[in-house]
Amino acid sequence: MAKITVDGQCYEVDPANNLLQECLSQGLDLPYFCWHPCMGSVGACRQCAVKQYRDEDDKTGTLVMACMTPVTDGAILSIEDDQAKAFRAGVIEGLMTSHPHDCPVCEEGGECHLQDMTLMSGHNYRRFDKRKVTHRNQDLGPFLNHEMNRCITCYRCVRFYNDYAGGKDLSAQASHHHTYFGRFEAGTLESEFSGNLAEVCPTGVFTDKPFSEHYARKWDLEAAPAVCTGCAIGCNTSPGERYGSLRRIVNRYHSDINGYFLCDRGRFGAHYVNSDFRLRSAKDSSGMTLSSEEASIAFARDTQKRLIGIGSPRASVEANFALRRLVGEDNFYAGFSDSDYEAMQVLLNSLQDQDFNCPSLKQVESADAVLIIGEDVTNTAPRMALSLRQSVRVAAYELADKARIPQWQDAAVREIAQETRSPLCIFATGATRLDDVATLRLNASREDLLEAAEALFVRLSGDSPHYREGVTGRTMQAVEETYAALLAAKKPLIISGVHAGVEAMRLASNIAKRLAKIRESSCDLVLLAAEHNSVGHALLLEEKNSLGSAFNRLKDEGCDGLIVIENDLYNRAPTSIVQAALKSVDTCIVIDQIETPTARHASLVLPSTSFVESANVLVNYEGRAQLSFQLSPCPESLKPVERWLNVEGSESTESLIRRCSTELAPFSELDKCLPHPSSVVPGAKFPRMSHRASGRTAMNADRNVHEGKQTLDDNSVMSFSMEGIQPLRDATVLGSSWAPQWNSNQSISKFQNEVNGALKQRNSEIHLITRNSHLDYYPSYSRTEGQSDEHKYLLQAVQQIFGSDELSARSKPVQSRMSDCYIAFNVESAKQLGATTGDSIELQDTGVELTLVVRADVPDGVALVYPGSSATGLSVNRFDLPKAAQLSRLDKANSEYGLGVSSLVVDDRVDVEVTTGAIL
């Protein structure tokens, strides 16, 4: 620790940081723009100038930029010095010369860092009376607005988009005061993390476009801490609500998970809750709408029968637990496909095995060698891909340390590192969106990848791998290089996941276990689950109760019907099997938030709440159970799944969670994710509304001029009003961050122990799984089938960030980025079939037709199939696809009902006409 004096006050600070960061960590107010807590310093805006004195005798001092000045022990500084204050006001004056001052119509207004810093700097009287510089704006697609005239040229957008997130289609253009931040030409921003620009931008250049469609000021938004339902990562979000509709999602800082950033699926996918895809009322088999009471009666009548229950990885822990209680554990079945369920067993085993550590995203960022086997992380768990992009910088930080360049000197560290990257080895079929930072890519069919992974395991075991005939030297070299990289690493990380398949996960476990033995300490292993509560659901299941066995029960007439919660069975099994199963019973109760093909077969459909209308607990890929708070009052027609099921204790989320922790061993600690009683003041609640919320007396005046009673929330520590304990003090829950003088999301530093540290507020979470086993290696992998028919293509399903997740696929902004189901193969195959991107391709003998996207990197003999989404556009059931098929081009025009494939962003896409026949 070092001691510094700021304006006469002494502070103990970390000498590894810069002055700005340490001043903010100490809670001091010092304005800044270009510095970002996790992107470091570049010294562009010159806003954070402070006075530094040589020693106590130095009375004049020198102006220094706090963000560019390392902490030195004994440093004497002044923030309040007149010259420093005048300079900071001058910087604002300069930044403001061409700013349009359109705060009243600007969506950033009220949470604008530029407004805050302007006020903080003390600049108020405008002297500039010359012509302003103006710019033309671009259409950047469905996610973001662009208003360049507001730009203050802090370079944060390009530093985030390009340097941090690896985007390629946003850049700083032109120079001097004409500097322009945009795309080369108007068009949709391609990065999966583009939405963060709305938060990274300190003013209103990039703003949330879906939000502007039904805009409200930040202070008018009800906010509560929530957890993203987009994938298994469990990013923390802060949803904003007004007039009963969800308006937007912004990041909610979590030091170990998402930090300051979300992916675009998470940010824009949540709009499904407002969509027409939502089930809003109960219906019977004829489609007749039922009142809530009628529905409850109907449900109670049905539950007299012998029913089985099918749970869901996208339903909360409480919902699954309630269903399990209602039907009994023997009758409670997996909501996973059988193959996914097998994969989930491997995942659960890995979480209990002492040889492994399942790293948080923050830990992923510090891995110094990564191997990804088969999982397309950018499309299945996007936020982790952003962390992996940071992990490759570990080598850069080492170089910087050697050159004595502090890690926060962002541009200097990048300069010294150049293309030096820590190993990121990707074993994948076709191009992935991480290839640009990968140090090694093994591109082959799934079977070939698995064989290579097996060879790597053998190599790590000290033997020489036995390669099948026909394995290329490149594969062998990839195995050798990966082997060397993993052995040399201090903190290796192996990643695979459910989408990569059970074999890939077993191999990843074997490799990690072998590494753990070699290292004599645990090895980092991530096995990604597919959905936001996959782990929570799996933990509630009896191992034998697979979905297949549920279908068998239905067929064997061992029961009268089934209850399906928040699940579309057509996403879990072949169409024919699902149809047969649903036809074989009279009673099929579906409880869901959204309309699904399964719900259309139901004898009783009950509408459940989304994460907005009820609290719920979700367990992420690490086994981290997190409480997502209810955001807005629940409409009468909707109920949380557990309340429809009406089991003992289901009157509140809290009571059900407590019951779950007493009854089920894996969940014994679950109640610890609830707000700790000691932090709750009896009778006082945490308000969801800000203390500046407006219109409370007028909001419902169109219906009734009398001010209604505030909706009460008896089941939560939060209230639907503005009264209560403001989160700034020692509160437990932080719905939306705000501090005096800090209206923007930059206020988060006031809630952190130190910049980038944990929240002073406890996170409402608990790690469920204790590691208490040492499992054996899985049996070695051997190829199941021989070489396939050479006229046939091996079909491999792929995921897309926009479309592969059931809920977000029903969000309007996400839908405008989705594509139809497609098939992808390489240029050579396209030539053979005489086909080009956009053509229709038929899988022979199946009747399945798919749109072609020619992708240069797909290996020979392989076709990738993206099955699309049942929400919109053309889709297929991926379980209906054969393992291999002969392909032919169909001579017909594309369907006019589909979404097409034009919005698809993949790196190896080939859109040009492929010449057929003889090559010239």
Minimum CB separation from other proteins for residue 748, in Å? 24
Per-residue exposure over 132-160, b if at least 16 CB sit within 10 Å of its own CB, e if not: eeebeebebbbbbbbbbbbbbbbbbbbbb
Nearer to other proteins, 132 or 600 (CB): 132
86 vs 476, beta carbon nearer other proteins: 86
Backbone angles phi, psi at 532, to 5 degrees: -70, -20
Radius of gyration of the chain (CA): 28
Give the Cα separation of 122 and 82 in Å (integer): 11
For other proteins, which is the closer residue by CB, 40 or 335?
Answer: 40
**Minimum separation from the CB atom of position 88 to other proteins (A):** 11
Strands (E), 844-917: 848-855, 862-866, 884-885, 887-890, 909-910
> Considering the complex, what minimum distance in angstroms separates the CB of residue 370 from other proteins?
23
Report the residue number, 18 or 609, with the smaller CB distance to other proteins: 18
Amino acid in position 584:
S
C-beta closer to other proteins: residue 418 or 772: 418
Sign of CA dihedral 632, 634, 638, 643: positive
Helix/strand/coil percent split, the chain, to 5: 30, 20, 50
H or E element, residue 641 = helix 641-645
Q: Which of 649, 28, 644 is nearest to 279 (CA)?
A: 644
62 vs 787 by CB, closer to other proteins: 62
Pairwise CA distance, residues 631 & 608, whole Å? 15
CA distance 484 to 494: 14
Rounded least distance, CB 416 to other proteins, Å: 5
Rounded CA separation 758/750 (Å): 11
Q: Closest distance between other proteins and the C-beta of residue 20, in Å?
A: 15
Nearer to other proteins, 286 or 418 (CB): 418
Q: How far is the CB of 452 from other proteins (least distance, A)?
A: 32
- Core vs surface per residue 54-82: b (16+ CB within 10 A) or e: eeeeeeebeebbbbbbebeeebbbbbebe
Residue with tokens 């679950």: 670
Which residue's CB is nearer to other proteins, number 155 or number 356?
155
Whichever of 70 and 882 has its CB closer to other proteins, that residue is: 70
- Report how far residue 802's alpha carbon sits from residue 872's, in angstroms, rounded to the nearest whole number: 12
Nearer to other proteins, 405 or 758 (CB): 405
Distance from C-alpha of 466 to C-alpha of 247, rounded to nearest angstrom: 57
Tokens 């992380």 belong to 377
Q: How far is the CB of 496 from other proteins (least distance, A)?
A: 34
**What token pair was written down for 237?**
């979000």
Residues found near other proteins in the complex (CB under 8 A): 42-47, 49, 62-64, 68, 87, 90-91, 94-95, 97-98, 127-128, 130-131, 133, 152-153, 155, 172, 174-179, 403-405, 409, 411-412, 415-418
By beta-carbon proximity to other proteins, the closer residue of 75 and 905 is 75
The 3-class SS string of 826-859 reads CHHHHHHHCCCCCCEEEECCCCEEEEEEEECCCC
Q: Given the complex with other proteins, which of 348 and 437 has the nearer CB atom? A: 437
SS3 173: strand
Distance in Å, CB of 38 to other proteins, minimum: 18
Judged by CB, which is closer to other proteins: 174, or 488? 174
Identify the bridge partners of residue 442 per DSSP, sorted by sequence position.
427
Q: How far is the CB of 394 from other proteins (least distance, A)?
A: 17
Nearer residue to other proteins within complex by CB, 164 or 611: 164
In the complex, minimum distance from the CB of residue 216 to other proteins, in angstroms, rounded to a whole number? 32
Closer Cβ to other proteins, 177 or 883, answer by number: 177
What's the closest the beta carbon of residue 206 comes to other proteins, in angstroms?
18
CB of 66 to other proteins, least distance (A): 13
Structure tokens at 906: 């993949």
Q: Least separation, in Å, of the C-beta of 97 and other proteins?
A: 5
- Sign of the alpha-carbon torsion through 500, 506, 510, 512: positive
Task: Count CA within 13 A, CB hemisphere, residue 483.
Answer: 20
Beta strands at 887-890 and 862-866: parallel, antiparallel or unpaired: unpaired
Integer Cα distance of 864 and 841 in angstroms: 12
Report the alpha-carbon distance of residue 761 to residue 759 in Å, rounded: 5
Which helix (H) or strand (E) segment holds residue 10: the answer is strand 9-13
The partner residues of 742 in beta bridges, in order of sequence, read 739
Q: Shortest CA distance to 499 belongs to which of 523, 526, 527, 525?
A: 527
Residue closer to other proteins (CB basis): 68 or 887: 68
How near is the Cβ of 45 to other proteins at its closest, in Å? 5
The full DSSP string for 42-82 is ---S-TTEEEEESSTT-SS-EEEEGGGSB--TT-EEESS-H
